[in-house]
C-alpha cells in the first residue's frame, strides 16, 4: 500500500510540474501577434472593435529590444525620386485605448497620418514600426496601396491595431515609412523626432493587460496544486506496527 500511494503521489507531482511548466512557457512567446484594420480617416466608423475581432491575426518575429534603432535596416534613408516628385507627411496623431487592468498601459493603438505630394496624384503605401524604449524598430504592419492628391486633408489615413501577444509592458515610439507604390520607393521617414505624438506611448499586449486583472491566475492554479501535493506527500508517515506497515 505504501508503494502504491507514493507512486501515485509521485505521478501526480510530475503531472503538476508538467502543467506548471507548460503554463509558464505559454506566458513567454517568441513571436508577436497583432490584429489591424485600416482605411481613410474620413471613412472611419464606430465599428472598429467589431472589425478588429474579424481581422486576421498577423504574426511577426520576436520583438527586438537590444541595440540602436539607427543601426536597423528598417530605417532607411529616402532616395531621390526618379520623377522629381516631393512627398511629405503633414501631421500624425496617435490614440491609445483599452486598459483592462487599469495599470496605465493600453493594448489598442490608432495611428493616423496625412501624406502629401507636391503636385498631382500619387499612389502610396506605408509601413509602421514600433520601438520599445529606444530599442530597434520592429515592423508590425504594411498598409494597402491608396491614393493621395496634392496637400489635401481628405486623404488622411489610419491604422488601428490591437496588440495580442509579444509586446512587453513599456513605452513605445512609432515610425511611419511612406513609399511611392509606382516605384516601390521609400520617400518619407516620419517618427518621434518629427512628431511628439509618435513618442512615449504606454503600451502592452492583451495577454499582459489581462494577466494583472486576474492576478496571474493562469500559473496560480498549477502552482497551488503542486504545493498541495507536496504537502500531502510530506504529511504521510510510515510506521511499523506489529510487523505491518501503517500509512
The pLDDT tens digits for 25-57 are: 444 557 999 999 999 997 776 688 899 999 999
Question: What is the radius of gyration, based on Cα positions, of the chain?
Answer: 26
Residue 238 has pLDDT above 70, yes or no: no
More confident residue, 151 or 29: 151
Statement: the pTM of the whole predicted model exceeds 0.85:
no
Distances, alpha carbon 200 to alpha carbons 173, 190, 191, in Å: 5, 15, 11
Kind plus residue range of the DSSP H or E element containing 88: strand 87-97
Rounded distance, CA 129 to CA 213, Å? Answer: 28
Rounded to an integer, the average pLDDT of 230-239 is 48
Instruction: Give the mean pLDDT of 216-229.
Output: 45
Indicate if the pLDDT at residue 123 is higher than 70: yes
For residues 116-140, average pLDDT: 95
Q: Which has the closest alpha carbon to 29: 190, 207, 154? A: 207
- Lowest-confidence range among 10-14, 66-70, 82-86, 127-131? 10-14
| Cell (9 digits) for 36 | 489591424
Phi, psi (deg, nearest 5) at residue 224: -65, -40
Strands (E), 98-156: 108-117, 121-132, 138-142, 146-149
Amino acid at each position: 500500500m505504501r508503494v502504491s500511494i507514493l507512486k501515485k503521489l509521485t505521478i501526480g507531482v510530475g503531472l503538476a510540474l508538467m502543467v506548471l511548466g507548460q503554463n509558464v512557457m505559454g506566458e513567454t512567446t517568441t513571436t508577436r501577434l497583432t490584429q489591424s484594420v485600416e482605411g481613410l480617416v474620413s471613412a472611419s466608423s464606430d465599428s472598429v472593435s467589431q472589425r478588429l475581432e474579424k481581422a486576421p491575426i498577423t504574426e511577426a518575429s520576436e520583438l527586438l529590444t537590444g541595440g540602436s534603432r539607427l543601426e536597423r535596416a528598417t530605417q532607411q534613408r529616402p532616395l531621390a525620386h526618379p520623377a522629381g516628385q516631393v512627398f511629405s507627411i503633414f501631421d500624425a496623431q496617435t490614440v491609445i485605448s483599452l486598459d483592462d487592468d487599469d495599470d496605465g498601459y493600453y493594448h489598442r493603438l490608432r495611428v493616423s497620418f496625412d501624406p502629401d505630394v507636391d503636385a498631382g496624384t500619387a499612389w502610396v503605401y506605408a509601413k509602421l514600426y514600433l520601438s520599445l524604449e529606444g530599442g530597434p524598430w520592429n515592423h508590425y504592419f504594411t498598409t494597402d496601396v491608396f491614393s493621395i492628391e496634392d496637400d489635401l486633408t481628405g486623404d488622411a489615413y489610419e491604422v488601428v491595431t490591437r496588440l495580442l501577444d509579444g509586446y512587453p509592458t513599456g513605452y513605445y515610439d512609432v515610425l511611419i515609412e511612406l513609399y511611392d507604390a509606382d516605384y516601390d520607393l521609400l520617400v518619407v521617414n516620419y517618427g518621434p523626432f518629427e512628431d511628439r505624438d509618435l513618442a512615449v506611448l504606454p503600451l502592452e499586449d492583451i495577454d499582459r493587460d489581462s494577466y494583472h486583472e486576474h492576478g496571474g491566475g493562469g500559473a496560480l492554479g498549477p502552482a497551488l496544486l503542486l504545493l498541495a501535493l507536496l504537502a500531502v506527500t510530506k504529511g504521510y508517515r510510515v510506521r511499523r506496527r506489529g510487523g505491518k506497515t501503517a500509512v
